[in-house]
Amino acid sequence: MLTMILQSGTAMLLALLSARWLGPADRGIVVIITFLGSILMLVGSLGTATGARVLVGREDGTRLTPRRVLRSTRPLLLAHVGTATVAGSLTLWLVDGHVDWGVCALFAVYACSMLWAYLRRELLHGLGRHQEAVRGEVCSVIIQLGLVAAAHLAGHLNVYVAVAAMAVGILAQVAYQTPYLFPGELDAAEHERGDLRSLVGFSVPALATTVGQEYTLRADRLFLGVAIGSASAGVYGSAASLAETLTLLAAGASQILFRQAARGLTLGHLLKCHAVVGCATALGAATLWITGPTLIDITLGEEYHSAVGPLRILAIGAIPFAVYQLNVAVINGAGNLGRAARLAGAGALTLTVACFVLIPLVGANGAAWASVMSYSVLAVGSFAALPSLQHKLIRP
């Protein structure tokens, strides 16, 4: 948990400093690029990261090794180059009215690196190496922070440098992950052949879950960028980054619940997790509601004062989203990927409809309320989608 706190803290520091140093408009471009990279990463994986996470954690004949998974998914990485280039250029054109091919090229490198690191990170979680998985993310953020700070001090920080720093940080994460994926396995696994078709067939339901969840969590930035402009997305994205710290405890607990659900989990244990995480998240939301205006003025400055409203609304939304994080981890860990996929689809649909209705009416606050509505749908639906846990025990 301490490692996750460090990861969240450094990520928050990077978001705040880059927002202050770049300004709302350029920060908005970075926010949209980050969201697009995450969505393409999930789509490009075809759900194999989540599927492989389940399969490498099994203790029967269906278990896969990390090396076999990575060999199976090599074609996905190659295809991702073209997907990232096309999607990146189209999105930048929609937001800014023109295509900056330099940014597009850097984005393609960043997006492909994200997919590479994502597959490896989920494998580490599936193997129960949660600390190593999170430390890799910490390594990535620290390097990004160092590069962005150095560029700012040198007077050369801009969108190009920011995106390049993001790509370098992700590649450093890949380098960190590698030794922990193959300890003692390098020679023994050389004969293994990958089977992409079988892995994709098992994992496809997870695709809708992961894409729908990421879309529900961050697509509000894209809607704002297209509807109002990159500056609005930059201000809103800074508020959202602060609000996301409230889900830190739920994110940490969900990693553990996922693996426990794959082995067996009691309903009582899950409810205890809900009680602890729910109370802590609500306390954090109340604190952020009170201190939000001062926090934004101190960390970001007057340019971002309009972020106070969305920040307070998103703080409310963190509570149902934390509930969803815990439940969906159990649903996925138990292998019920189809249920999780339908649930994520409902959340994504709610966000889309609500954004189209509310953003033209109340701007950034409308996007925030749309997010709260979608998180609430996810929370309520996740309880209905939970597998029967009453008679399952956690095996050591």
Listed range (22-26, 54-58, 152-156, 185-189) with the worst mean pLDDT: 185-189
DSSP label of 307: G
Listed range (38-47, 146-155, 167-176, 260-269) with the worst mean pLDDT: 260-269
pLDDT, tens digit (0-9, with 9 covering 90-100), for 326-342: 888 888 777 777 788 88
Helix intervals (H) in 182-195: none
* % of the chain surpassing 70 pLDDT: 88
Whole-number pLDDT of residue 244: 85
CA distance 145 to 137: 12
CA distance 293 to 311: 9
The residues near 199 (Cβ < 8 Å, ≥ 6 apart) are 48, 51, 52, 55, 64, 69, 72, 73
Count, in order, helices (H) and strands (E) of the chain.
15, 0
* Amino acid code (one letter) for 131: Q
Please check the confidence at residue 191 and state whether its pLDDT lies above 60. Answer: no
Whole-number pLDDT of residue 396: 32
Please check the confidence at residue 152 and state whether its pLDDT lies above 90. Answer: yes
CA distance 267 to 278: 16
How sure is the predictor about 389, in pLDDT bands with cuts at 50, 70 and 90? low
Please check the confidence at residue 144 and state whether its pLDDT lies above 90. Answer: yes
Cβ(325)–Cβ(254) under 8 Å? yes
Whole-number pLDDT of residue 182: 74
Whole-number pLDDT of residue 161: 93
Please check the confidence at residue 156 and state whether its pLDDT lies above 50. Answer: yes
Report which of residues 272 and 352 the model is more confident about: 352
Three-class secondary structure assignment of 337-348: HHHHHHHHHHHH
Helix (H) or strand (E) holding 45: helix 24-45
Listed range (117-131, 169-183, 255-269, 315-329) with the worst mean pLDDT: 255-269
**Residue corresponding to tokens 């306390």:** 283
The residues near 212 (Cβ < 8 Å, ≥ 6 apart) are 341, 343, 344, 345, 347, 348
Please check the confidence at residue 371 and state whether its pLDDT lies above 70. Answer: yes
Cβ(132)–Cβ(180) under 8 Å? yes
* Amino acid code (one letter) for 210: T
Q: What angle do CA 26, 90, 169 make, to 5 degrees?
A: 50
DSSP label of 4: H
Helix (H) or strand (E) holding 358: helix 337-362
CA distance 339 to 386: 8
Please check the confidence at residue 42 and state whether its pLDDT lies above 80. Answer: yes
* Amino acid code (one letter) for 389: L
Question: Phi/psi of residue 195, each to 5°?
Answer: -130, 90
Query: For helices 337-362 and 308-333, what crossing angle results, to 10°?
Result: 170
Cβ(57)–Cβ(126) under 8 Å? yes
**Residue corresponding to tokens 């996925």:** 332
When pLDDT is averaged across residues 5-20 and rounded to a whole number, the result is: 77
Three-class secondary structure assignment of 127-164: CCCHHHHHHHHHHHHHHHHHHHHHHHHHCCCCHHHHHH
Whole-number pLDDT of residue 97: 62
Count the Cβ atoms, other than its own, within 10 Å of residue 338.
15
Whole-number pLDDT of residue 62: 63
Q: Phi-psi bin for 229: left (phi > 0), alpha (psi -120 to 50), beta?
A: left
Whole-number pLDDT of residue 70: 83
